[in-house]
């Protein structure tokens, strides 16, 4: 009898395997009474290590990180003879006593999320047999019989079974008791068939190499080791339940956690005797990037992954039913599937770029073909998209940079995308957009009011019988055909409004506009119409609530019909793409009172909810949302996860990526988050890969490293040389601090490819007029300070007299220099410059240089805490210079006070980034997007001449 107290006593061979599997095994006392001599190995007494080798079998796992605790109970095994060959125990034609307990074993397990910790206890197994023959065992090799096969896969001795016929002489699994046991069931897959279907599992007998290249099944595991198989099966029995290939099942998880969910895609016995199943995993929403923000997603909805790994067979818990649901299944069919299954899935979840993607078109559910109610017109590429106008709604549009870039990029791809509607609260930004896009319906209002207006507008259209789908009519507008109304006097019976005393009656001549809100500022929000009064001019136009226009039904209906025909407002299903960057000021690093527990409770973050609600109401084909990186950095990415959850909950495909503006041809770093959404019937747009090198000025959030749009490691690619300030600005005319002109002529010819491209008009010819090349005029004190900053690289306030820099780079006053005062009596070096960031910053009054870039174009032009000074001129960068750093074409004119124009430029999406995304969107609109989450832009993008051939070739695909 031997007592094994710890795994340290394993012999060297199994100790090595033990270390590789990273598995903790606790062995209790094992009493082995035998008749005659002790258990022998090569005619010598068996020491503790020899006994250990009979019980512990190490297992290779794909991710090698599973730690499973197994406890082996007392095991009594009376034997007549045991022979040990090659560390494996075999029985020599002798029987196992009825009272014997089975050998205990523990095997390591691999799990996709590396968290499986299962406590296994081997129970009694009574297997009375008269004789055990090799031919009766489930075998994978004539020369190999594993102890576990003897214990759990012993077959009846058919030769000694008088009641058996020749037809029954097949391999069978002995029925075990109802305690937890596992075994393969039925015959093994023929060797040739198994080797053909799973070549990576089998070793060539001639060269000792796998017949297929060993590949890691789990793409997140850096291991290239593949468990080698002895044989494969199509069925297995665990806890008296039969599992087949393709079945769905629960898999043991850690205590207190929900069981994992998988599809069984492989059943095999490894060469070390361990029985495995290969799992293709399903994610619950909470297992994805969405995590705890899964309240918008059905609890029965799961997402198929592409991750597969190997797990011990006895980790299976229960067979379940998971059904795939086609995106075009009818609502009735979907509900039927849901009610008759444990789970359902209609998308895949892929870790790169946190992607939720529709299932391939060949995935379908039973009887789904005849129950579809959605047209399949969108199933295939619509190359004729370029022949029709596609409509874009730009929310939180600012001056229109994002929508402008998208339309430019789509045009390169041959798609006619037009910004049909735009909404922003800043009236100067709206004016700028309208000047550059006169075809756009620009609305200067809150996005939340715009959403309420859309809902009211849909009801108004329903009251005028303009909609095909069922919508409740507006309660304050009577239904019916306008032609059926009394046409006396060309209008309603009473189209006037009188005062309370029955005095003058004002007659409505025309309704001009509609809005939702409180335009009269009387704290009574609602639906209002702008009225032109008969006999009065535009100066007397007023906003009137719909309740006060009860006698003007014809006027209202006429306005609605006219607006419907002109598409003054979008209706559900009419929008091809919604883009926008909802402001989330509550997560800004400048906000000292950020709510990290629940950022959505901060009113400054509510616009993200509004944005998603507008998407939910209008149901566009595509969605593109932009935001700052704090969306995924602050509060563990709370708002980013929320946005993805909303999109997926609305049944949109979605993915999230982070793009750097400088990687697309700008002397600016500027990393931003871009989130794509697409209806399940559409191709989900890809992210365009970088085309330029860029000087790094920021870090990618660690948790979202897989979301940074970049080339994979080891991928060969060639990027264009990085751009610097000189490449972008050196051709612009010199201007002074007090420049007043909004327009001027160029003086020099373009000095770089960037300058030549940025100066081009819409028709491709070089422009002659330069707009907005004027800086913020500094006050006299600041101007005097700027004039004393040296014109050299790295110069800043530290170069002014009276400032001393210590060895630790912190500034202090020089006691040997008297503090210099300006003509106004204020100090040359202001206190705030000395104390900014604890005296460590060199940004106050910092001068930029030609071979540098800027981290981010900001909305303010004061040089008090930013390096904004021109390299050679005593002023801050002009509006146009900032606009160039954002990629605005020189023809793009801005409206409003100087500070407002800086704000418009600083808040904008970099135009080259939007252009690249627009090209990707154009491919998706034409059904030409690839399956990968990223794409390479054509050479010399975005020069039109170079892309004609590429676009034409894409159309022919």
Query: Do 155 and 136 meet the contact criterion of CB atoms below 8 Å apart?
Result: yes
pLDDT of residue 943: 81
Q: Is the pTM of this model over 0.85?
A: no
Which residue intervals of 578-658 are DSSP H helices?
606-618, 630-633, 638-649
Separation of alpha carbons 684 and 831, rounded Å: 53
Find how far residue 568's CA is from the centre of its chain. Answer: 33
Q: Are residues 38 and 156 in the same domain?
A: yes
Separation of alpha carbons 787 and 773, rounded Å: 20
From the first residue on, what is the mean pLDDT of each consecutive set of 10 residues in the chain (957 residues)? 36 36 35 39 42 37 36 36 37 38 35 37 36 38 39 36 37 38 93 96 62 40 74 97 98 94 98 97 98 97 97 97 92 91 98 95 53 40 64 99 98 97 99 98 98 98 92 88 46 54 80 97 96 96 96 96 98 98 82 76 95 99 98 94 98 98 98 98 98 87 92 84 98 98 97 97 93 99 98 98 97 97 98 98 98 97 98 99 99 98 99 99 97 95 59 45
Separation of alpha carbons 91 and 82, rounded Å: 6
Structure tokens at 951: 């676009």
- The domain boundary, picked from 169, 196, 222, lies at 169
Which CATH number does the domain housing residue 951 bear?
3.40.50.150
Q: Is the peptide bond before 942 cis (omega within 30 degrees of 0)?
A: yes
Which stretch of DSSP H or E encloses residue 559? Answer: helix 553-566
Q: Are residues 540 and 658 in the same domain?
A: no
The helix/strand/coil state of 531 is strand
Query: Do 848 and 725 meet the contact criterion of CB atoms below 8 Å apart?
Result: yes
Structure tokens at 729: 């600005």
Domain-located, residue 403: yes
Domain-located, residue 626: yes
Which stretch of DSSP H or E encloses residue 324? Answer: strand 322-324
Domain-located, residue 776: no
Structure tokens at 441: 């319906």
> Of 706, 727, 649, which Cα lies nearest the Cα of 887?
727
Q: Are residues 14 and 145 in the same domain?
A: yes
Q: Are residues 51 and 123 in the same domain?
A: yes
Which residue intervals of 312-400 are DSSP H helices?
331-339
Burial of 76 (0-12, 13-18, 19+ CB in 10 A): middle
Q: Are residues 629 and 689 in the same domain?
A: yes
Q: Are residues 407 and 527 in the same domain?
A: no
Cβ count within 10 A of residue 883: 30
Separation of alpha carbons 650 and 653, rounded Å: 9
Domain assignment of residue 540, given as a range: 468-566
Find how far residue 70's CA is from the centre of its chain. Answer: 39
> Of 479, 474, 439, 448, which Cα lies nearest the Cα of 460?
474
Cβ count within 10 A of residue 430: 24
Q: CA 197 → CA 191, 193, 447, 569, distances in Å?
A: 10, 6, 56, 57
The contacts found for 705-710 with CB under 8 angstroms, 24 or more apart, are 706/351, 706/352, 706/353, 706/354, 707/353, 707/354, 707/632, 707/656, 707/657, 707/658, 707/673, 708/657, 708/658, 709/353, 709/657, 709/658, 709/659, 709/660, 709/663, 709/934
Structure tokens at 774: 């004027």
Domain-located, residue 462: no
Domain-located, residue 810: no
Structure tokens at 524: 């009574």
Which CATH number does the domain housing residue 550 bear?
2.40.50.40
Separation of alpha carbons 232 and 240, rounded Å: 20
With tokens 């950022």, the residue in question is 599
Residues marked active site are found at 584
The helix/strand/coil state of 656 is strand
Q: What's the CA angle centered on 203, arms 153 and 53, to 5 degrees? A: 50
Domain-located, residue 194: no
- The domain boundary, picked from 566, 599, 630, lies at 566
Summarised one tens digit per residue, pLDDT across range 126-175 is: 333 333 333 343 444 434 334 334 333 333 333 334 443 333 333 333 33
Which residue intervals of 798-909 are DSSP H helices?
831-835, 879-885, 898-906
Quote the number of domains for the chain.
Answer: 3
Q: Are residues 18 and 151 in the same domain?
A: yes
- The domain boundary, picked from 513, 541, 566, lies at 566
Summarised one tens digit per residue, pLDDT across range 536-552 is: 999 999 999 999 998 89
Separation of alpha carbons 321 and 343, rounded Å: 7
Q: CA 862 → CA 316, 509, 778, 868, distances in Å?
A: 65, 50, 8, 8
Separation of alpha carbons 834 and 840, rounded Å: 8
Q: Are residues 435 and 507 in the same domain?
A: no
Domain-located, residue 749: no
pLDDT of residue 591: 60
Domain-located, residue 260: no
Query: Do 224 and 230 meet the contact criterion of CB atoms below 8 Å apart?
Result: no
Q: Are residues 509 and 605 in the same domain?
A: no
Q: Are residues 545 and 675 in the same domain?
A: no
Q: Are residues 40 and 143 in the same domain?
A: yes
pLDDT of residue 391: 99
Q: Are residues 54 and 108 in the same domain?
A: yes
């Amino acid at each position: 009898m031997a007592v094994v107290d710890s795994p340290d006593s394993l012999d060297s061979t199994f100790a090595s395997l033990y270390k590789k599997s990273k598995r903790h095994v606790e062995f209790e006392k094992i009493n082995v009474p035998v008749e005659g001599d002790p258990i022998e190995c090569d005619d010598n007494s068996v020491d503790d290590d020899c006994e250990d080798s009979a019980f512990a079998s190490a297992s290779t796992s794909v991710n090698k990180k599973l730690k499973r605790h197994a406890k082996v109970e007392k095991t009594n095994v009376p034997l007549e003879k045991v022979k040990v060959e090659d560390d494996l125990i075999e029985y020599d034609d002798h029987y196992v006593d009825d009272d014997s307990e089975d050998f205990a074993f523990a095997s390591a397990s691999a799990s996709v999320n590396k968290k499986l910790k299962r406590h296994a206890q081997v129970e009694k197994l009574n297997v009375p047999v008269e004789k055990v023959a090799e031919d009766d065992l489930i075998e994978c090799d004539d020369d190999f019989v594993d102890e576990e096969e003897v214990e759990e896969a012993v077959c009846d001795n058919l030769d000694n079974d008088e009641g058996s016929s020749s037809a029954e002489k097949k391999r069978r699994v002995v029925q075990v008791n109802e305690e937890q046991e596992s075994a393969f069931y039925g015959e093994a897959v023929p060797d040739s068939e198994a080797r053909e279907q799973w070549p990576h599992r089998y070793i060539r007998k001639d060269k000792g190499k796998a017949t297929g290249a060993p590949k890691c099944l789990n793409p997140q595991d850096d291991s290239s080791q593949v468990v080698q198989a002895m044989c494969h099966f199509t069925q297995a029995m665990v806890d008296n339940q039969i599992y087949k290939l393709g079945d769905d099942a629960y898999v043991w998880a850690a205590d207190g956690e929900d069981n994992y969910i998988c599809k069984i895609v492989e059943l095999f016995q490894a060469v070390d005797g361990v029985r495995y199943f290969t799992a293709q995993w399903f994610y619950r929403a909470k297992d994805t990037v969405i995590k705890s923000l899964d309240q918008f997603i059905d609890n029965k909805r799961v997402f198929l992954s592409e991750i597969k790994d190997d797990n011990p067979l006895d980790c299976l818990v229960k067979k379940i039913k998971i059904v795939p649901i086609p995106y075009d299944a009818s609502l009735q069919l979907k509900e039927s599937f849901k009610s008759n299954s444990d789970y359902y899935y209609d998308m895949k979840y892929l870790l790169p770029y946190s992607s939720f993607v529709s299932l391939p078109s060949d995935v379908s559910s039973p009887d789904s073909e005849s129950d579809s109610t959605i047209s399949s017109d969108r199933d295939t590429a619509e190359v004729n998209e370029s022949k029709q106008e596609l409509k874009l709604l730009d929310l939180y549009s600012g001056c229109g940079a994002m929508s402008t870039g998208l339309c430019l990029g789509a045009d390169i791809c041959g798609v006619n995308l037009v910004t049909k509607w735009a909404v922003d609260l800043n009236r100067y930004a709206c004016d700028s957009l309208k000047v550059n896009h006169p075809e756009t319906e620009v609305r200067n209002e809150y996005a939340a009011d715009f959403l309420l207006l859309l809902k009211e507008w849909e009801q108004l259209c329903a009251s005028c019988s303009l909609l095909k789908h069922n919508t409740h009519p507006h309660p304050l507008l009577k239904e019916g055909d306008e032609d059926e109304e009394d046409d006396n006097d060309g209008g309603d019976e009473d189209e006037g409004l009188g005062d309370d005393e029955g005095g003058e009656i004002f007659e409505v001549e025309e309704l001009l506009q509609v809005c939702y809100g409180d335009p009269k500022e009387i704290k009574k929000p609602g639906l209002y119409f702008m009225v032109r009064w008969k006999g009065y001019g535009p100066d007397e136009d007023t906003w009137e609530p719909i309740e006060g226009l009860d006698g003007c039904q014809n006027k209202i209906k006429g306005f609605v019909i006219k607006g419907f025909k002109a598409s003054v407002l979008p209706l559900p299903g009419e929008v091809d793409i919604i883009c926008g960057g909802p402001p989330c000021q509550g997560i800004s690093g400048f906000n000292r009172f950020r709510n990290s527990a629940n950022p959505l409770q901060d009113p400054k973050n509510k616009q993200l909810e509004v944005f998603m609600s507008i998407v939910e109401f209008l149901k566009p084909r595509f969605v593109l949302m932009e935001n700052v990186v704090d969306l995924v950095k602050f509060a563990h990415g709370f708002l980013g996860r929320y946005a993805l959850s909303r999109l997926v909950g609305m049944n949109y495909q979605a993915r999230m990526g982070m793009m750097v503006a400088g990687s697309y041809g700008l002397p600016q770093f500027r990393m931003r988050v871009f989130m794509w959404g697409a209806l399940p019937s559409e191709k989900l747009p890809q992210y365009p890969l970088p085309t330029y090198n860029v000087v790094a000025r920021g870090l990618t959030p660690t948790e979202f490293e897989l979301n940074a749009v970049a080339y994979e490691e080891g991928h060969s690619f060639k990027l264009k040389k990085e751009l610097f300030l000189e490449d972008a600005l050196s051709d612009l005319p010199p201007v002074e601090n007090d420049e007043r002109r909004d327009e001027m002529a160029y003086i020099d010819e373009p000095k770089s490819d960037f300058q030549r491209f940025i100066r081009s008009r819409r028709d491709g010819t070089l422009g002659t007029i330069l707009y907005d090349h004027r800086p913020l005029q500094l006050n006299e004190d600041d101007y005097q300070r700027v004039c004393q900053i040296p014109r050299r690289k790295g110069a800043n306030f530290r170069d002014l007299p009276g400032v001393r820099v210590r060895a630790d780079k912190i500034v202090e006053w020089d006691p040997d220099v008297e503090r210099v005062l300006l003509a106004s009596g204020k100090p040359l070096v202001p206190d705030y410059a000395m104390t900014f960031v604890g005296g460590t910053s060199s940004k106050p009054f910092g001068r930029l240089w030609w071979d540098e870039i800027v981290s981010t174009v900001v909305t303010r032009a004061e040089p008090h805490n930013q390096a904004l000074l021109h390299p050679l001129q005593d002023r801050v960068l002009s509006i146009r210079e900032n606009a160039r750093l954002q990629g605005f074409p020189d023809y793009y004119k801005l409206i409003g006070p100087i500070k407002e124009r800086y704000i418009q430029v600083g808040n904008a999406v970099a135009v080259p980034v939007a252009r690249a995304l627009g090209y990707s969107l154009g491919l998706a609109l034409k059904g030409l997007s690839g399956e990968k989450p990223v794409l390479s832009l054509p050479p010399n993008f975005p020069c039109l001449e170079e892309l004609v051939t590429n676009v034409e070739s894409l159309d022919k695909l």
